[in-house]
Amino acid sequence: MTRGSSRDTAAQLPLGFDSAANGPDLVRTPAAEAAMAALAQWRNWPDGQLAVIGGGSSGKTRLLHDWCVRSGAWATSGDVLAAADIREVHAKSQSGVAIDDADMSPNGEHLLAAINFCRDKNTPLLLTGVSEPASWTLEPRDLRSRLGAIPVVRLGPADDITLDLRLTAACKHRYMKLPPETSRYIVKRLDADYDIIPRLVDELAAAADGKALTRAVARKALDALGRAGFVTRDIPGEDT
């Protein structure tokens, strides 16, 4: 199967991906291992299509952006696609299309058009969403049948190893070195929730004030999170 013969000449339209482009490097984690393996085999996807699904902050956007860089596909989001000129969608489909939060698109007609354009041009299509495409409540009926046929790979739930890796990477992006023992101390006290990481890094930076990220600094950051309403856990019988 040959795809993307115009990839070198087609212009990119990286709408809505500034944060992904400037964010931490992509980190290989147990929760993302299956998705990363599937994305690496994009030339062999059945009918050139794949959906990556997972909860909020699970890494879908970062994976999608990385795939676009490697494949040359056009990156956008469901809401941006909904408002796009259909002629532009047709033109960009010659390079392939990646649609983040495709399940949130308010314009099923444009989503169906993107799917059909890529199929007709034999170029790859990547969608992300929270649930399997077959469950998306989108019209028209033809769209639902197309979505139901797309292969799916699921990002795993948050776990301590993945939280550790992502927290360390997020600190590195802020030019802060997070010692392994401090990261382990923090992760043991967090609920399995990726959404907390950006706020936690802010609190670590404030508590450290340019100094090393010790356990004492971590304790201050966790206390600040608790006061802000985030759920943290104390470990019985362990010194802070």
pLDDT one-digit tens code per residue, 161-205: 888 988 999 999 999 999 999 999 999 998 777 888 999 999 999
What is the distance, to the nearest Å, from the Cα of residue 211 to the centroid of all Cα atoms in its chain? 31
Helical segments of 106-195, H only: 108-121, 141-148, 160-173, 180-187
* pLDDT for the residue numbered 28: 79
CA separation for the pair 88, 11 (Å, rounded)? 11
User: Side by side, which strands form the sheet with 152-154?
Assistant: 74-77, 97-100, 125-129, 49-53, 152-154
CB 76 within 8 A of CB 110: no
User: What is the pLDDT confidence band of residue 238, given thresholds at 50, 70 and 90?
Assistant: low
Give the bridge partners for 98, in sequence order: 75, 126
* pLDDT for the residue numbered 55: 87
Q: Helix, strand or coil for residue 239?
A: coil
Cis peptide before 236 (omega within 30 of 0): no
pLDDT at 104 > cutoff 60? yes
Mean confidence (pLDDT) of the chain:
86
CB 182 within 8 A of CB 38: no
> pTM of the full predicted structure?
0.76
pLDDT at 19 > cutoff 70? no
* pLDDT for the residue numbered 237: 56
